[in-house]
């Protein structure tokens, strides 16, 4: 996208809709504008910086007429953090916009019009809803524009917080985050202050020096907490920090220390040491209609849905859409740790789960054993390579297929295998309605879209999940 030779101010732009990735869409005199940090109903002034065929893009300079749907953000870091780009928009309007976006994308991209659009399932908790948060230590934090403008010397710039969007080396220091239960703020603050008093050096991402790198907080709905300290070196000072932390929070369920000597922050392949408590958390989800419950083991590196309350409701929708009678062979593609598969296993004759990550399959097998599920088999590998005609011939054609792919959607080869196998029903779960609509369009020769159910998993963000039921024509 070409940059304009000279940025210019443009006023009187009315924000009329939301776009992708937290952007908003403005209109003025037939022209379209793209920006961030405004909400529908605002009239704004922007600094136009880029021009592309069809729209102009710029930075918000002033809200000249605030939208009646605006509200004051709860978070003191809202302006700079970037994690909750809709905290300034009333929640009822957030879910209305998400609901409309899902339906519009299915109609525009997939060309679907004859389907039942169930109203979006909003989150009962719009704060403190996450069960996992990760923070980054940095030796020299990002300064706000206001701090830079003062030209005052800030001698201590050590920080713990979130990366500035798009920057690996800039971190916004966080005092209080409202996305996870408040206990995690107390624990994070203790670790931050005690690390400084022990003179444990914080990591410098450009120089690749320092010890304290990240800290993760996980909790279940019972209130058990698992904390992961990610360090460059398990030094004596880190061991002292661990002891002091355990003493300060005696009900802590588990504490892990993970040594990451790599350049990047990914620690899935790094050694982890349990220094206190139990090796995992257990979360319990209840099936609908008193059909029993499922327990999930959550280890330090396990993937698990980050909004437990909404995940349980999401799985109940999948359970209902699958409409199993007990005689079906069910495939669960992109099964992860088998969380959806195990949730529906009580109504399946046989269940086959496929997932790319081998460690996730190990978790799925452990969870199956813990729940006494004997009718589920799990396989690891790239979906397009595993789901072959020979694989389907070996394990039986699916009567019902559940798919929950990553944001990029399904590979065309995977869609071809589904069309060849012709399950009676497909339940398609997606975190990106646009790629879901694209895939549904590719299946229209054999499948009809019956109904959809959007679910808001992440209040105050632009993300939305959607469950779609397709039936064989």
Q: Please count the other Cβ atoms lying within 10 Å of the Cβ belonging to residue 40.
A: 19
Q: How far apart are alpha carbons 341 and 368 in whole angstroms?
A: 9
Q: What is the CA radius of gyration of the chain?
A: 24
**Strand bridging mode 43-52 / 3-18:** antiparallel
Question: Do residues 220 and 285 touch, judged by C-beta distance below 8 A?
Answer: no
Query: Any residues with CB less than 8 A from the CB of 450 and at least 6 apart, and which?
Result: 115, 116, 469, 470, 471
| Catalytic pick among 75, 177, 270, 431 | 431
* Two structure tokens written together for 352: 């086959």
Q: How far apart are alpha carbons 266 and 264 in whole angstroms?
A: 6
| Edge-to-edge order in the sheet of strand 329-333 | 116-117, 447-455, 465-472, 425-430, 400-403, 329-333, 350-355, 376-380
Based on the residue annotation, tell me whether 431 is a catalytic residue of this protein: yes
Catalytic sites, residue numbers:
431
């Amino acid at each position: 996208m070409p940059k304009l030779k000279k940025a210019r101010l443009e006023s009187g732009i009315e924000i009329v809709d939301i776009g992708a990735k937290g952007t908003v869409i403005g209109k003025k005199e037939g022209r379209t504008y793209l920006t961030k940090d405004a909400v529908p109903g605002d009239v704004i002034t922007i600094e136009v910086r880029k021009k592309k065929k069809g729209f102009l893009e710029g930075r918000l300079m002033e809200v000249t007429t605030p939208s009646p749907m605006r509200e004051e953000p709860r978070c003191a870091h809202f302006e700079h953090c970037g994690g909750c780009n809709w905290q300034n928009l009333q929640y009822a309007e957030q879910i209305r916009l998400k609901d409309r976006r899902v339906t519009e994308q299915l109609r525009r991209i997939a060309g679907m019009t004859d389907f039942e659009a169930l109203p979006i399932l909003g989150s009962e908790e719009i704060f403190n809803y996450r069960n996992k948060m990760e923070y980054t230590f940095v030796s020299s934090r990002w300064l706000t524009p206001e701090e830079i403008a003062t030209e005052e010397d800030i001698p201590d710039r050590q920080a713990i917080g979130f990366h500035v969007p798009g920057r690996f080396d800039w971190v916004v220091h966080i005092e209080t985050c409202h996305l996870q239960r408040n206990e995690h703020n107390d624990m994070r603050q203790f670790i931050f202050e005690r690390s400084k008093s022990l003179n444990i050096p914080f990591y410098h991402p450009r120089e690749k020096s320092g010890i304290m790198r990240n800290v993760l907080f996980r909790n279940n709905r019972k209130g058990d907490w698992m904390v992961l300290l990610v360090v460059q070196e398990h030094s004596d000072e880190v061991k002292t920090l661990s002891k002091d932390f355990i003493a300060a929070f005696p009900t802590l369920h588990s504490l892990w220390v993970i040594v990451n000597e790599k350049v990047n922050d990914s620690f899935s392949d790094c050694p982890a040491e349990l220094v206190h408590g139990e090796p995992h958390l257990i979360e319990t989800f209840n099936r609908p209609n008193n059909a029993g419950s499922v327990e999930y083991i959550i280890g330090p590196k396990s993937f698990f849905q980050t909004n437990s309350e909404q995940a349980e409701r999401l799985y109940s929708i999948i359970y209902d859409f699958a409409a199993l009678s007990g005689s079906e062979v069910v495939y669960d593609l992109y099964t992860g740790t088998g969380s959806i598969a195990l949730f529906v296993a009580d109504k399946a004759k046989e269940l086959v789960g496929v997932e790319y990550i081998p460690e996730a399959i190990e978790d799925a097998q452990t969870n199956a054993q813990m729940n006494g599920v004997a009718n589920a088999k799990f396989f690891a590998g790239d979906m397009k390579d595993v789901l072959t005609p020979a694989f389907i011939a070996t394990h039986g054609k699916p009567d019902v297929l559940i798919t929950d792919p990553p944001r990029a959607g399904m590979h065309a080869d995977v869609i071809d295998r589904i069309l060849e196998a012709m399950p009676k029903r497909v339940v398609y779960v997606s975190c990106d309605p646009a790629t879901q609509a694209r895939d549904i369009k590719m299946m229209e020769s054999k499948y009809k879209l019956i109904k959809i159910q959007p679910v808001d998993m992440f209040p105050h963000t632009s993300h939305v999940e959607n469950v779609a039921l397709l039936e064989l024509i």
